[in-house]
Amino acid sequence: MTKKPSPARFPVGLDRLGGGSRTAASPLLRPQRPVHEAARDAARAASPSGLGMDSSAVRRRMVERLRAGGVDHEAVLAAFAAVPRHEFVDTALATQAYEDTSLPIGFNQTISKPSVVARMLSLLFEGDSARTGGSLGRVLEIGTGCGYQTALLARLARRVLSIERLKPLHDKARDNLQTHRGGDVRLVWGDGRLGHAPNAPFDTIIAAAGGEDLPAAWVEQLAEGGRLVAPVHDAASGGQVLLVVDRRADGVVQRLADAVHFVPLKSGKQ
Ligand code: SAH
């Protein structure tokens, strides 16, 4: 390794070009941006939709398919109609963004299938007159991923705090949500198994990764009248199932809903 030149030996600015100091580099002095950023911005500049077609039309078709599949909560459907899913995935995958499929977002993780996300959001509202047509209140999301579901939640809630354990995805979501944040969103890099005690209690808790069991902190941090939806291991089938937990004045009530397949809920942050 060659020794880094001391900045004092160069005229102001040149040391930056030589890579001596990165922190103060202005965009003009940064010859190469990450390729995915450049490609994404080029796509956005070329067409406001970034899809080469009217993305609101393909989104409407996705919403009609969700409706045909049984999703009937109008605010949930409106959120899907509003958030451009193709802008949360790599440009190469943008044309698949409105199919009902999970897609890779890097680091062995995936953005969840629209129908599964819609089902979970519907479960959060289901059968609860206080929430029907209303708001999810203060939300804790575990597993920010690329931030797509966070953007949906932001349209349905008063406030969203979303935790991601992988730093590069946390950063990616921050980048993605810069343009699409429709509400009060806070992103946290950390282990979501611990919940977020300083901001508890939450009216809604939703997890996008499934563990062997339900972390005790989540139930503890659920407000009275609040609801939690999370995938958990199902001993009976050996797969995963959505668990719905309600905290009521007289105690905690839980029930199992649909069979699902989410990425694992892991401990610690990286
Ligand atoms: N809703 C996301 C789905 C991401 S996949 C989206 O729209 O993109 C689930 C995410 O959960 C992954 O990014 C994974 O890193 C994260 N995850 C897994 N265990 C976690 C934990 N203990 N705390 C926080 N995030 C976790």
CATH code of the domain containing 114: 3.40.50.150
For the chain, what is the domain count? 1
Task: Specify if 18 maps to a domain.
Answer: no
Q: In the prediction, which pLDDT does 37 show?
A: 58
CA-proximal residue: ligand 1, atom 4 (nearest): 145
**What type of residue sits at position 251?**
G
Confidence band, pLDDT 50/70/90 cuts, at residue 2: very low
Counting ligand 1 atoms within 8 A of each CB, the residue from 149, 265, 267 with the most, and so the one to mutate, is: 265
What angle, rounded to 10 degrees, do the helices at 55-68 and 114-125 form? Answer: 60
- CA of 173 from ligand 1 middle (Å) equals 11
Q: What is the CA radius of gyration of the chain?
A: 21
> What mean pLDDT value characterizes the chain?
84
- Of 149, 139, 163, 154, the closest CA to residue 221 belongs to 139
pLDDT tens sequence across 80-96: 999 999 999 999 999 99
**Ligand 1 pocket, residue 142 CB under 6 Å:** yes
- 83 in a domain, yes or no? yes
Is the per-residue pLDDT at 33 higher than 70? no
Domain boundaries, position 244: 54-260
**So what's the pLDDT on residue 9?**
31
Q: Taking a C-beta distance cutoff of 8 angstroms, is the pair 91, 39 a contact?
A: yes
Provide the pLDDT for residue 134.
82
Contacts of residue 120, defined as CB under 8 A and 6 or more positions apart, other chains included, come to 206, 229, 242
Instruction: Assess if residue 11 is contained within a domain.
Output: no
- Greatest Cα pair distance in the chain: 72
For 223, residues 6+ apart whose C-beta sits below 8 A from its C-beta are: 137, 138, 200, 201, 202, 203, 247
223 lines ligand 1 (CB under 6 A): no
Is 249 a member of any domain? Answer: yes
Decide if 41 is inside a domain. Answer: no
pLDDT in tens, 152-194: 999 999 999 999 999 999 999 999 999 766 689 999 999 999 9
Tell me what pLDDT residue 6 has. 39
In a domain, 266, yes or no: no
pLDDT tens figures, 45-72: 444 445 555 789 999 999 999 999 999 9
Tokens of 206: 């939703």
**241 close to 212: Cβ distance less than 8 angstroms:** no
> Which among 142, 133, 130 has a CA at the least distance from the CA of 76?
133
Cα 218 to ligand 1 centre (Å) = 15
Which of 214, 220, 223 lies closest to 157, judged by CA? 223
181 or 201, which is more confident: 201
Q: What is the pLDDT of residue 16?
A: 30
In this structure, is residue 47 part of a structural domain?
A: no
Q: Is 94 part of any domain?
A: yes
With b for 16 or more beta-carbon neighbours within 10 A and e for fewer, the 81-102 pattern comes to eebbbbbbbbbebbeebbeeeb
Q: pTM value?
A: 0.82
Query: Of 165, 176, 180, 232, which is best to mutate to test ligand 1, by the most ligand atoms within 8 angstroms of its C-beta?
Result: 165
Report d(CA 63, CA 61) in Å as an integer. Answer: 5
Q: Which of 80, 103, 109 is the best mutation target for the ligand 1 pocket, counting ligand atoms within 8 Å of the beta carbon and taking the most? A: 109
230 lines ligand 1 (CB under 6 A): no
Q: Is 176 a pocket residue for ligand 1 (Cβ < 6 Å)?
A: no
Ligand 1 contact, 263 CB (< 6 A): yes
Verify whether ligand 1 is closer than 6 Å to residue 169 (CB atom): yes
Active site residues: 112
Asked if 196 and 220 count as a contact pair (C-beta separation under 8 A), the reply is: no
